[in-house]
Amino acid sequence: MPSCRPLRAGWGSRMDQHTVLTGIGISGGIGIGRVVVLPEFDFDTSKQKADPEEASRFLNAVAALSAAIGQKQETAGAEQAEILESHMMLLGDPSISAEAQRIIEAENCNSEYAVDQVFETYAALFLASGDELFAARAADLRDIKNNLLLILDGKALFDVESLPPGSVLVAREVTTTVAAGINPDNVCALVTREGGATSHTAIIARSLGLPGVAGVSRIEAGSQVIVDGNRGKVILNPTSKVLETYRGLQEEQKARKQTLEAYRGLESVTTDGKSMVLFANIGLVTDIAHAVAADAEGIGLFRTEFLYMNRSTAPSEEEQFTAYKQVATAFAEKPVIVRTLDVGGDKEIAYLGIEKEENPFLGWRAIRFCLERQGLFHTQLRAILRASAFGRVKIMLPMISCASELKRAKALIEEVKRELSAGGILLNQQIEVGIMIETPAAVLMVDYFAQEADFFSIGTNDLTQYIMAVDRGNQNVAQLCSVYQPAMLRAIYQVAQAANRHGIECGICGEAGADPLLTRFFIGCGVHELSMTSNAILGIRERVRSGRYEVAKERVAAGIHTLRDVEQAAAFLQSI
């Protein structure tokens, strides 16, 4: 195994004989152990003249990586094997492989250059979206790229499976390949130099239930550390007194986790009988197991765009039908809300031919794109409607901003229904069609939309960015992009109240759904459903069951129009 080099960056404060490094908490919990630093390599991907057998060299590297991944699959658990399978599919994607070979032959260049060019092009498209699930796909592509470069350089993949118990894995970023080999019985925490709360490593850490801190560096291999994912701190060489304190906190958190297990299988209902349904968000069929294990009461957001990614052509009707049916069947009579294709703008898929736009968030995206590319939309609607015969599937239309969009989309759905029925294909003729409320226009037109849609789902991520006129990926204005902004809280209240007036359900499917500070606010607004990352469900259920609906309703109604700033709003939310 090649030697590793220490990570770089500044130190934190000194406390007695130990050092405290401050970063960003990306996954809650406390881990205590010894540092293992993931090796890093500087690859030379500059363009050079090809060797006589360059094409074979590239194909041999692909075959070697496929074999290595295959070996890992044999010993991996079911969930980790599925992750590795997605890498096998990406590695075997003919469009990616063919493009690399084309560059090698057309430009008479080395494999390293071709691999870097192709994988970086695809990864950049996904990373530009700012969406955590799309960013995860970009990380997968770069992971494969680096593994290919390792093999081309004659090096072996990192053997994370053999790490001893009590290992704290430190890296620039934890890749999917490494993550698939992590045994939580041996690895007790993750620390990275890069990333944040929605980074690929954060997703991995939370899915494995490991404490994680990002934005921290200069940690030597072998050091004893405490990783505090709750406070975003890493303590180097802790004193015996500090160790004793944190071991006590560990025990408290284990007890807390065990306490939450008491909420498994219970209804999400307030003390005075008001129900709140807790759903999970998913992006891939492989996420189903997480949602089921987390005791989700259904799927509040199936991001179907992932079915269209990492490939050179759109998925067929049969491919989509199989995926939608699998989710519907897994949840039987529980609702599964399928969002129709949400691409364009910041979510680019090369083969769809969407031109570069100056203002992609305000451009040709989501329902606007689908209504103009009706062949693509028609295929997806057929697949969703066919799957509706196997469970409580609902259709959700994204980015609705005017009446004509909803009217045209509903007309297409009715057309596809008639077509399927004429062919003798089973479907739910009464399938519910709802819309995402994620534009200011939809908020202002909410009473009209409540008469035309079967349900609402508030996409708090996009709605915050549009209401506050803030690019959520721009760090210079990030402080403005908060769901705690009074304007956002008023918008949510207005939408939920309109839904209740017209007798339709209103849900939350943005990141705010997993925020316990907002739970009772949502209850008081009259929100019916919250959809969130799977591992947040039991904690939010506890929060729901410990509050009173009538109290929350009165406090929200009395205070919602008095708020002037985020600080005042935070105090208001605490008081509900």
Tell me whether residue 160 is in a domain: no
Take residue 322 and report the two structure tokens written for it.
């199989």
Q: Is residue 407 scored above 90 in pLDDT? A: yes
**Threshold 0.75, pTM exceeds:** no
Closest CA to 115 of 86, 141, 88: 141
Query: Based on the domain organization, do 183 and 61 belong to the same domain?
Result: no
Total domains in the fold of the chain: 3
Domain that holds residue 273: 264-575
Q: What is the three-class DSSP state of 507?
A: strand
Return the HEC string of 291-309: HHHCCCCCEEEEEHHHHHC
196 lies in the same domain as 314:
no
pLDDT of residue 468: 95
Q: Any idea which residues carry the catalytic annotation?
A: 200, 509
**CATH no. for residue 543?**
3.20.20.60
Q: Are strands 18-22 and 13-15 parallel, antiparallel or unpaired?
A: antiparallel
- The C-alpha R_g of the chain, in whole angstroms, comes to 25
Please tell me the predicted confidence (pLDDT) of residue 437.
98
Give the separation between CA 486 and CA 467, rounded to whole angstroms: 11
Domain boundary among 200, 227, 253: 253
Answer whether 312's CB lies under 8 Å from 95's CB: yes
Residue 473 has pLDDT above 70, yes or no: no
Please provide residue 474's backbone torsions phi and psi, each rounded to the nearest 5 degrees: -95, 110
pLDDT at 201 over 80: no
Q: What is the mean pLDDT of residues 441-456?
A: 98
Is the pLDDT assigned to residue 198 strictly greater than 50? yes
- Say if residue 237 is in the same domain as residue 330: no
Q: Can you give the CATH number for the domain in which 61 is found?
A: 1.10.274.10
Is the Cβ–Cβ distance between 26 and 132 less than 8 Å? Answer: no
Q: How high is the pLDDT of residue 91?
A: 84
pLDDT at 66 over 80: yes
Tally of residues, the chain: 576
Asked whether residue 501 is assigned to any structural domain, the reply reads yes
Mean pLDDT confidence for 29-43: 92
- ∠249-230-481 over CA atoms, to 5°? 160
Say if 47 falls within a structural domain: no
**pLDDT: which is higher, 41 or 186:** 186
For position 187, what pLDDT does the model report? Answer: 96
**Mean pLDDT value of segment 520-536:** 94
Domain end call among 230, 253, 276? 253
**pLDDT(14) > 60:** no
| Amino acid 347: pLDDT | 54
Residue 308 domain-assigned (yes or no):
yes
The mean predicted confidence, pLDDT, of the chain is 88
Asked if residue 265 has pLDDT above 70, the reply is yes
* Residue 219 belongs to domain with CATH number: 3.50.30.10
Q: What is the pLDDT of residue 79?
A: 57
Q: Is there a single domain that holds both residue 317 and residue 399?
A: yes
Bigger pLDDT: 344 or 172? 172
Q: Is the same domain home to 323 and 468?
A: yes
Residue 391 lies in a domain: yes
pLDDT band at 306 (very low <50, low <70, confident <90, very high): confident
Tokens of residue 248, six digits: 């006590």
Question: Does 219 fall in a domain?
Answer: yes
pLDDT of residue 283: 82
* 552 & 487 share domain: yes
398: left (phi over 0), alpha (psi -120 to 50) or beta: beta
pLDDT confidence bin for 3, thresholds 50/70/90: very low
pLDDT of residue 13: 42
Q: In the predicted model, is pLDDT for residue 7 greater than 60?
A: no
Q: Would you say residue 259 lies in a domain?
A: no
**Same structural domain, 364 and 488:** yes
Choose between 442 and 198: higher pLDDT. Answer: 442
3-state secondary structure of 20: strand
The residue out of 92, 126, 152 marking a domain boundary is 152
Does one domain contain both 247 and 270? no
Sheet with 24-27, strands from edge to edge, namely 13-15, 18-22, 233-236, 224-228, 30-37, 167-171, 187-192, 212-214, 24-27
Pair (223, 84) in one structural domain: no
- For residues 264 and 162, which has the higher predicted lDDT (pLDDT)? 264
Specify whether 22 is located in the same domain as 65: no
In this predicted model, what pLDDT tens digit does every residue of 154-188 receive, in sequence order?
988 888 888 999 999 999 888 777 887 888 899 99
What pLDDT score was predicted for residue 1? 29
Mean pLDDT of 24-49: 91
Nearest CA-CA partner of 313 in 355, 375, 255:
375
AA letter at 113: Y
Q: What is the pLDDT of residue 177?
A: 78
Q: Where are the beta strands (DSSP E) in 212-371?
A: 212-214, 224-228, 233-236, 277-282, 299-303, 335-339
In the predicted model, is pLDDT for residue 346 greater than 70? no
- What's residue 376's pLDDT? 95
Residue 46: inside a domain, yes or no? no
In the structure, what pLDDT confidence band is assigned to residue 15 with cuts at 50, 70 and 90?
very low
Q: Are residues 62 and 112 in the same domain?
A: yes
Same-domain status, 199 and 61: no
Amino acid (one-letter) located at 260: L
Section 514-530 average pLDDT: 97
Per-residue pLDDT band at 475 (split at 50, 70, 90):
low
